[in-house]
Amino acid sequence: MMRPSILTLAMFVGVKLNVSIVLASVMMIDWIAWPLHMLPHFLFELNECRRGMRRIQRFLMLDEIQAGVIDKKPAAAWGKPAL
């Protein structure tokens, strides 16, 4: 859809089209078509990566944020048996 619309716009503006211009424009549009097609997917994955990194950061900083809340005493030694 991009190719016909761009070539039609060029003809409408008044650019003289020859075979080399048409082929060059088709090649350049093909080069850029795949990255433009994948751009929304890339941005979604980038956002998910940022979200995941923030979750990991919050989890790793939990001990520093709750320094007084978490009791880090050594495990209690076993006393005498109850029986």
Q: Determine the Cα–Cα distance for residues 48 and 45; give it in Å rounded to an integer.
A: 5
Assigned domain for 16 exists = yes
Assigned domain for 72 exists = no
Per-residue confidence (pLDDT) for residue 69, from 0 to 100: 60
Assigned domain for 48 exists = yes
Mean pLDDT comparison of 27-36, 38-47, 55-64, 69-78, highest-scoring range: 38-47
Assigned domain for 71 exists = no
Is the full-model pTM beyond 0.75?
no
Assigned domain for 61 exists = yes
Q: Name the token pair of 66.
A: 């709750």
Per-residue confidence (pLDDT) for residue 32, from 0 to 100: 82
**CA-angle at 60, arms to 59 and 65, nearest 5°:** 85
If you average pLDDT over residues 37-59, what whole number do you get?
Answer: 92
Assigned domain for 41 exists = yes
The runs of H, that is alpha helices, within the chain are 2-13, 19-60, 62-65
Could you list the residue range(s) of the whole structural domain that residue 21 is in?
Answer: 2-65
In the chain, the number of structural domains is 1
Asked whether residue 47 carries a pLDDT value surpassing 80, the answer given is yes
Q: Which residues contact 2 (CB under 8 A, 6 or more apart)?
A: 29, 33
Assigned domain for 73 exists = no
Assigned domain for 79 exists = no
